[in-house]
């Protein structure tokens, strides 16, 4: 009897939970909070570079030291509009699903948080408008894209298919960086971010302007470089080093 493949839209529960949280946060802002409360919510949970500026008086922004830490992560749960969140979910579904199936639930969650923080740090270093609040899950999703590229182009790998395609050994970082398919993907992706950086494209109105290209790039390269720290499957070089191993390398 032929084994059936998993349906393309068999989304892992942890990804469904991610989507539910993002939608719930947006519903809270739109349906429950007043305009003044929403402004306070953004000041408390979005990522605002001015928090880390020496000239800002202590207590000028709500949340204190706690917000100095948690906003590296909480900004990713906030979106400017349904369009903004819808576009992010369109990317999260394929790439988040691939990463969640590969890593498992708790590694997926930790990975998404780490790449969110990397995106915030890149945005901070990029010297943006210090009072412009950054929001959106794009940095974490960019990290998931990069992580998926580490195994999707490997022999036997894919973003779709049954469980076996998520268990193939990943290529080394160097092999990934020299793969023509990855380089083409990277060129297109960087080109799109350049359009955001030049102001040619924007998403989600005034709040959406703060979802910066710097964060996308920071999340992407964090996901690319930190992939092995989260991957539960032995890499191709590690397998090749084992005595008697006869597995083909990718």
Among the listed residues 93, 143, 89, the one whose alpha carbon sits nearest the alpha carbon of residue 118: 143
In the structure encoding, which two tokens stand for residue 34, read together? 């007043």
Predicted model pTM: 0.82
* pLDDT (tens place) for every residue of the chain, 250 residues total: 444 444 445 899 999 999 999 999 999 999 999 999 999 999 999 999 988 876 565 557 888 889 999 999 999 999 999 999 999 999 999 999 999 999 999 999 999 999 999 999 999 998 777 888 899 999 999 999 999 988 887 665 556 655 666 777 888 899 889 889 889 989 988 887 777 655 434 444 444 444 478 899 999 999 999 999 999 986 555 444 444 444 433 3
- 18 CB burial (10 A radius; 0-12, 13-18, 19+): buried
Q: Which pLDDT score is estimated for 189?
A: 85
In the structure encoding, which two tokens stand for residue 95, read together? 């790439």
Domain limits, the chain:
13-235
3-state secondary structure of 173: helix
**10 Å Cβ neighbour count for 102?**
27
3-state secondary structure of 55: coil
How is domain 13-235 classified at the CATH fold level?
A: Rhomboid-like fold (1.20.1540)
3-state secondary structure of 250: coil
Q: Which pLDDT score is estimated for 229?
A: 95
Please list, in sequence order, all residues whose beta carbon lies within 8 angstroms of the beta carbon of residue 215, skipping any fewer than 6 positions away. Answer: 119, 120, 122, 123, 134, 136, 138, 139, 142
């Amino acid at each position: 009897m032929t084994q059936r493949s998993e349906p393309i839209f068999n989304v892992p529960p942890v990804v469904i939970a991610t989507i539910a949280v993002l939608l719930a946060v947006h519903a809270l802002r739109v349906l429950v909070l007043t305009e003044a409360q929403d402004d306070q919510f953004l000041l408390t949970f979005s990522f605002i570079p001015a928090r880390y500026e020496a000239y800002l008086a202590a207590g000028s922004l709500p949340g204190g030291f706690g917000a100095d830490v948690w906003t590296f992560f909480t900004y990713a749960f906030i979106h400017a509009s349904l369009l903004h969140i819808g576009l992010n979910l369109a990317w999260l579904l394929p790439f988040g699903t691939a990463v969640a199936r590969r890593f498992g639930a708790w590694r997926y969650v930790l990975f998404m948080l780490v790449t969110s923080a990397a995106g915030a740090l890149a945005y901070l270093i990029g010297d943006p408008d210090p009072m412009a609040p950054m929001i959106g899950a794009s940095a974490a999703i960019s990290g998931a894209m990069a992580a998926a590229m580490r195994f999707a182009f490997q022999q036997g790998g894919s973003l779709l298919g049954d469980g076996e395609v998520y268990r193939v050994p990943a290529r080394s970082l160097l092999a990934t960086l020299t793969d023509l398919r990855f380089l083409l993907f990277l060129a297109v992706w960087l080109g799109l971010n350049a359009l955001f950086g030049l102001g040619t494209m924007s998403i989600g109105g005034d709040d959406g302007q703060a979802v910066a290209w710097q964060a996308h790039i920071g999340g992407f390269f964090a996901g690319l470089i930190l992939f092995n720290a989260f991957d539960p499957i032995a890499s191709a070089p590690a397998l090749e080093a084992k005595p008697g191993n006869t597995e083909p390398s990718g």
